[in-house]
Structure 1
């Protein structure tokens, strides 16, 4: 069984990125378990003085989740041509740890408009030594959709197959490392 941690860079209740990750988890191949991290909004602002024995509980939970996962999938919105602060803050908690080093990671997208954030996030994660899987891009356009519309789009057979294939390809990448 391949364990994958999915992290949404959005805190919105009706987040398209979170909906995409929930659908990925629900449609994962039988040899993969996708767990969605739900603590992004609970993370305190990163402060290097709070590392080590002083690491806050939620930051420790994130670090443990990333460390224990075989791979990480991130879906992130773009704010003002950049990575949202909450997502960057989560990554900052991982910078001085070994959790990211060599950890397979894949970006998936709920909008075709997040090109700047995609590039910035990939650069940040490569700099942190994540092993970025960039062969199969999964993008399902959900921007501007209401929850029921998102649910219907994500349930379309072609999208279910695309999600399953993307996770399968990522799992193969993880297994080959």
Structure 2
């Protein structure tokens, strides 16, 4: 009897924690069409020598077209160099299975917005939208991301992904490597 109860409890825990719930931030349907997006998710965080960089992803479906919404927030007491997005900008995601998924920029040309906070620090917020190409899109649903390369208009920057990221900003635990595995199901 103890074994039976143990097995039942084990299976209940497995099913209860097997999938993350879809955290939908926006879900609009009107005469123009439909728009649905997930909450922003911290993918990358770096804090070093008074400078910080946070990168967030969210998935959005605009009339059935799936986009990756990208946002970078940089903070420094020094001037922050602009990394601009243009029509040739891309995001490359290297998967655990060795394949590479390419995302194409469909947002407007932008170098972000530079703001000064009350404490005198400079903040640069850069956002853009990217669409998935058909090649290897299905692999995102089953394979973790190990590495991201962003091709800005004048520079390429690489970002390694962590299996688990404990944010210094909010002390929450994030799992960037499995972002697409966990959230693409929200749009099936």
Shared fold by TM > 0.5?
Answer: no
**TM-score, with structure 1 as normaliser:** 0.23
Comparing both structures, which one devotes a greater share of its residues to helix?
Answer: 1
Which structure has more relative contact order (CA 8 Å, sep 6+)? It is: 1
Q: Larger % of strand: which?
A: 2
Max radius of gyration: which structure?
Answer: 2
